[in-house]
Amino acid sequence: MSNKITTDLLEFIENSPSCFHAVQTTKEILTKHGFTELSEDQTWNLTPGNDYFVTRNGSSIIAFSIPESVVLQNGFRIIASHSDSPSFKIKENPEMAVEDHYIKLNVERYGGMLCAPWFDRPLSVAGRVIVKENGTYCAKLINADRDLLLIPNLAIHMNRDANSGYAYNAQKDLLPLYGDISAKDTFLDTISKYAGVEKEEILSHDLFLYNRQKGTLWGANEEFLSATRLDDLQCACASLYGLLGADRKQAVSVHCVLDNEEVGSTTKQGAASTFLRDTLFRICTVFGMDTQDYFIALSKSFMISADNAHAVHPNHTDKADPVNRPYLNEGIVIKYNANQKYCTDGISAAMFKDICKQVDVPYQTFTNRSDMAGGSTLGNISNTQVALNTVDIGLPQLAMHSPYETAGVKDTEYLLKAAKAFFA
C-alpha cells in the first residue's frame, strides 16, 4: 500500500480544523487541478471537458466534471460525505469571569460527542467571523493556530465517583478555560488578530473548538492512524483524490461534501437541503435538457454515501453484530439497516461490491446488533431531495465522535481506489 494518501489525509485534516476550513482546503486542491469556481447567484456557462465546483454557506461544496461528450444519458456518479464533526460551538458573549480570577468561555455542544476525551488536552478555536466590506457581508476564516484553551478535569479527590461513571453537565463541566482575570474582554481581540480584522468590524461569528493534537501513525507496524475529525474527513479526502485520479469520461462525476450531518442535515447546506438537487438540475439545463430529461438522468445515476463506520472494538467485542463484524485495515464497510437508517439495498450493494471486485478492493459489512439502535447518515436524507440508487458505506474506525479517533492506514487507500474506479 502507498503512504501518499495517508500523508495527503493528515495534511488535509491539519488544514481543516472546522467545516469551513475543510471546504476551503478542498477548494484549493480543486483549483490546483484546474477546476473553475461557480457561484449560485450567477449564470453558469459550462463547457464539455471542463471541471467546476460550487459552494454553499462556505461549509458545503459540490465539485463536478463534465465529459467531452456530455453523456448525461449515463446520469451522474456521485460520492457524498460531510464536512462537520461533533465539537463545541462558542456562544455569543462567550466570556465568563469566575470569582475575579479566571476567564472561561461559554460554549454549547454541537452533535453527539464523546465528552470525556475533550478534557485535559490543548484546544483552540476555528471557524469564521462575519464583517462588512464595501456594503457586502464577508466571511473571514479564522484558525487561532496555537494552544489557546483547555477543559480541566475535576480532581479525583473532589469527585470520588469519577471512575464509576459520570453524567457531564454541558453548562457546568464542559466550559473551557481561556485565561486568568487579565484575559478579561480580550477574546474577540484574539479572534480579530487571527482573522486579520479589527475587533469592531466583527458583526457575528461561527466558531468551534478543535483538538490541537496532530494526527499520528502508531501500532506495532504503524498500521493504525489516529487524528481529529476522521469522521468524516477520511471519506471526504479519499473520495476527492479518487475523483482527481479518475478518467472521468463516461458520466458526470460529482464530489459532494455537505455540512451539518452531525445535527440532522436539516439546513440550507445540509443533505436535506436543495443544494445537490439544484446543482444537478442546473447542469442539465445548461446543456439544453428539460425537467423530463433531468428525471431520466437521475434514474440512471448512482450515489455512494460515504460516512465512516464502526469497527469491532477490541475491548467491547460484544457490542458488534454476531456476524457482520468490520475490522480496521480489512476494507470498505457496506452499511445495512432494515429500518432504512442506511439506504443500502440489494441492488446498490451489488453494484458497489462489483466496483470493489473490479479493482481488487476488499469490503466488509456492518449492521447494528438487533437489540441496539444505530445512527443514521446523509444517504437516506439526501434521497428525499434527489432520489436515486444509493449505497451507504464508510471506513471502519474506533472511538467515533471522540476528538481523537482511530482508523486503519490501509482503508483510506481502499476507498481512494474504489472511488477512482467508480468515477471512471
Does the structure show a pLDDT above 90 at 69?
Answer: no
The residue range of the domain holding 359 is 2-83+227-421
H or E stretch at 366: strand 363-366
pLDDT at 2: 57
Asked whether residue 178 is assigned to any structural domain, the reply reads yes
The stretch 362-389 carries a mean pLDDT of 90
Q: Are residues 330 and 408 in the same domain?
A: yes
pLDDT at 3: 84
Closest to 305 (Cα-Cα) out of 264, 263, 339, 352: 352
Q: Are residues 231 and 193 in the same domain?
A: no
Asked whether residue 165 is assigned to any structural domain, the reply reads yes
pTM of the predicted model, to two decimals? 0.95
Does the structure show a pLDDT above 80 at 403?
Answer: yes
Q: Are residues 362 and 238 in the same domain?
A: yes
Q: In whole angstroms, what is the distance from residue 162 CA to residue 93 CA?
A: 31
Q: Are residues 291 and 361 in the same domain?
A: yes
Does the structure show a pLDDT above 90 at 418?
Answer: yes
Asked whether residue 221 is assigned to any structural domain, the reply reads no
Of the pLDDT bands very low, low, confident and very high (cuts 50, 70, 90), residue 137 is very high
CATH of the domain at 392: 3.40.630.10
Does the structure show a pLDDT above 70 at 1?
Answer: no
Lowest-pLDDT choice from 24-28, 91-95, 249-253, 401-405? 249-253
Does the structure show a pLDDT above 90 at 31?
Answer: yes
Per-chain mean pLDDT for the chain:
95
Asked whether residue 219 is assigned to any structural domain, the reply reads no
Q: What one-character-per-residue DSSP string does 150-189 give?
A: BBPPPPGGG-TTGGG-----TTTT-PPEEEEGGGTT-HHH
Residue 132 has phi, psi (to 5 degrees) of -115, 120
Residue with cell 484549493: 28
Q: Are residues 180 and 153 in the same domain?
A: yes
Does the structure show a pLDDT above 80 at 375?
Answer: no
Asked whether residue 215 is assigned to any structural domain, the reply reads no
pLDDT at 166: 87
pLDDT for 210-268, tens place per residue? 999 999 999 999 999 999 999 999 999 999 999 999 999 889 999 999 999 999 998 99
Of the pLDDT bands very low, low, confident and very high (cuts 50, 70, 90), residue 24 is very high
pLDDT for 175-198, tens place per residue? 999 999 999 999 999 999 999 999
pLDDT at 391: 96
Counting the structural domains of the chain, the total is 2
The stretch 61-72 carries a mean pLDDT of 89
Asked whether residue 412 is assigned to any structural domain, the reply reads yes
Asked whether residue 157 is assigned to any structural domain, the reply reads yes
The stretch 36-53 carries a mean pLDDT of 96
Closest to 374 (Cα-Cα) out of 339, 406, 343: 339
Please give the share of the chain, as a percent, with pLDDT higher than 90.
89
The grid coordinates of residue 408 equal 486503519
Among 209, 236, 263, give the residue marking a domain's end. Answer: 209
Closest to 91 (Cα-Cα) out of 111, 68, 70, 107: 107
Q: Are residues 179 and 276 in the same domain?
A: no
Residue type, 96: M
CATH of the domain at 153: 2.30.250.10
Among 159, 183, 209, give the residue marking a domain's end. Answer: 209
pLDDT at 404: 98
Pairing of strands 87-98, 102-110: antiparallel
Residue type, 73: Q
pLDDT at 260: 93
Q: Are residues 197 and 338 in the same domain?
A: no
CB 70 within 8 A of CB 61: no
